[in-house]
């Protein structure tokens, strides 16, 4: 599969097109550098990294990889902080709901009002008039 041509000595030379294909596969994420070396049966461990450097991709590729790792750790930290914040908000809202329900129960018992029913403004006006009459008559 690899396109190469021998030169004098021990080394092997790979064609320009082959090098570019391997580099492209690594950049697009088809293979990691080590997996590409295995798949394409490339000799030295640093050969692919030299190709990445030769084509001006190595520094860009490494920076992107480092940035992605930083973003993942930052986003994980941000998400954990957000979860803590939302848990606190839920706790606060649950407490507020409990307080409101207790207040409604006390108002129901004290003023004989049924505040949980939503029957419209007329019944609220009647309830208010009744409370005013009761408070006036007690005096």
Tell me: the pLDDT tens digits for 48-66?
888 888 876 655 556 666 6
- Whether 126 maps to a domain, the answer reads yes
- Whether 62 maps to a domain, the answer reads no
- Residue 41 is classified by DSSP as T
pTM of the model: 0.37
- Whether 74 maps to a domain, the answer reads no
Alpha-carbon distance 45 to 1, whole Å?
A: 19
What pLDDT is recorded for position 57? 61
The residue segments making up the domain with residue 21 are 4-56
Total domains present in the chain: 2
Q: How many CA atoms, within 13 angstroms, populate the side-chain half-sphere of residue 19?
A: 18
Alpha-carbon distance 23 to 52, whole Å?
A: 6
CB 59 within 8 A of CB 27: no
- Whether 95 maps to a domain, the answer reads yes
Tens-digit pLDDT profile for residues 63-103: 666 666 667 777 788 888 888 988 998 999 999 999 988 98
- Whether 8 maps to a domain, the answer reads yes
Over 80: is that where the pLDDT of 121 sits?
no
Structure tokens at 65: 């990889």
> Which has the minimum average pLDDT: 34-38, 40-44, 60-64, 100-104?
60-64
- Whether 100 maps to a domain, the answer reads yes
Alpha-carbon distance 139 to 123, whole Å?
A: 25
- Whether 75 maps to a domain, the answer reads no
- Whether 127 maps to a domain, the answer reads yes
Structure tokens at 111: 């003023």
Over 80: is that where the pLDDT of 4 sits?
no
Residue 113 buriedness (CB in 10 A; 0-12 / 13-18 / 19+): middle
Q: Is the dihedral of CA 60, 61, 66, 72 positive or negative?
A: positive
């Amino acid at each position: 599969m690899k396109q190469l041509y021998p030169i004098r000595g021990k080394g092997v030379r790979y064609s320009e097109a082959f090098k570019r294909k391997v580099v492209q596969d690594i950049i697009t994420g088809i293979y990691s550098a080590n997996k590409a070396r295995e798949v394409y049966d490339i000799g030295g461990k640093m050969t692919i990294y030299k190709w990445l450097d030769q084509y001006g991709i190595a520094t860009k590729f490494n920076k992107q990889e480092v940035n992605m790792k930083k973003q993942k750790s930052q986003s994980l930290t941000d998400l954990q902080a957000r979860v803590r914040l939302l848990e606190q908000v839920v706790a606060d809202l649950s407490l507020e709901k409990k307080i409101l329900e207790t207040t409604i129960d006390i108002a129901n018992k004290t003023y004989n009002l049924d505040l949980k029913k939503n029957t419209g403004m007329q019944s609220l006006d009647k309830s208010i008039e009744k409370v005013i009459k009761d408070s006036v008559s007690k005096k």
